[in-house]
Amino acid sequence: MKTEKEKMLSGEYYLANDPELLAERTNCKRLLHKLNVTEYVVGEGTRKVLAELIPNAPANLYIEPPFHCDYGYNITCGDNVYFNVNCVVLDVMPVTIGSNVFCAPGVQIYTATHPLNAEFRRSKENAEPITIGDDCWIGGGAIICPGVSIGSGCVIGAGAVVTKDIPANSLAVGNPAKVIRKLNEEPEEK
């Protein structure tokens, strides 16, 4: 028989109030308190907290507090990833972020989802993984919904709500986000 954590990580319906999961979220909140309050000014103490909070990220992960997540260990980042202030990552399932990805203030990344049936929703939830490729820029206040993949080289406009996959090298804006054009791989000149 699977544990509730095993069910959660495989995308099955699970009990979020399972004692093991509650303990892990409590530990995450303890680390977030250190990051967001005690070590608010980014420095050596912040790097130590981030190494424990998000163990699947390189040392050059940069997060401007405040930051929020559910578990931390389900977030995997490449090199040179930046989260500006007030970002939220609900990492019930894996959130895989490539290298050179920049998240503006207030970006929200949600793997968590819930059943549509109200009675079932009272006790169970599930999640779908999210992937963001290399060299992406996620604009301020953008929301990335469960199960979405964003290809490399994308720009997601401020306030966009990404409900479906976005192909590589695309500019996507709006609610729901729609690709409005392909992006040229040549550098822009001013």
Question: What would the pLDDT profile of 162-171 be if each residue is shown by its tens digit?
Answer: 999 999 999 9
> Residue 189 falls within a domain, yes or no?
no
Judge contact between 79 and 60, C-beta under 8 A. yes
pTM, entire model? 0.93
Number of domains within the chain: 1
Query: Using alpha carbons only, what angle is made at residue 150 by residues 11 and 52, rounded to the nearest 5 degrees?
Result: 60
Mean pLDDT over the full length of the chain: 94
Judge contact between 4 and 47, C-beta under 8 A. no
User: What CATH number is given to the structural domain containing 17?
Assistant: 2.160.10.10
Question: What would the pLDDT profile of 32-52 be if each residue is shown by its tens digit?
Answer: 999 999 987 777 888 899 999
> Residue 143 falls within a domain, yes or no?
yes
Task: Please give the residue range of the domain that contains residue 110.
Answer: 4-182
> Residue 187 falls within a domain, yes or no?
no
Identify the CA nearest to 56 among candidates 27, 94, 89. Answer: 94
pLDDT above 90: percentage of residues in the chain: 88
Element (H, E) at 100: none
The question of whether 114 is a catalytic residue gets the answer yes
Q: Annotated catalytic residue: which of 68, 114, 124, 178?
A: 114
> Residue 132 falls within a domain, yes or no?
yes
> Residue 129 falls within a domain, yes or no?
yes
> Residue 145 falls within a domain, yes or no?
yes
> Residue 113 falls within a domain, yes or no?
yes
> Residue 190 falls within a domain, yes or no?
no
Task: Give the whole-angstrom CA distance, residue 18 versus residue 123.
Answer: 11
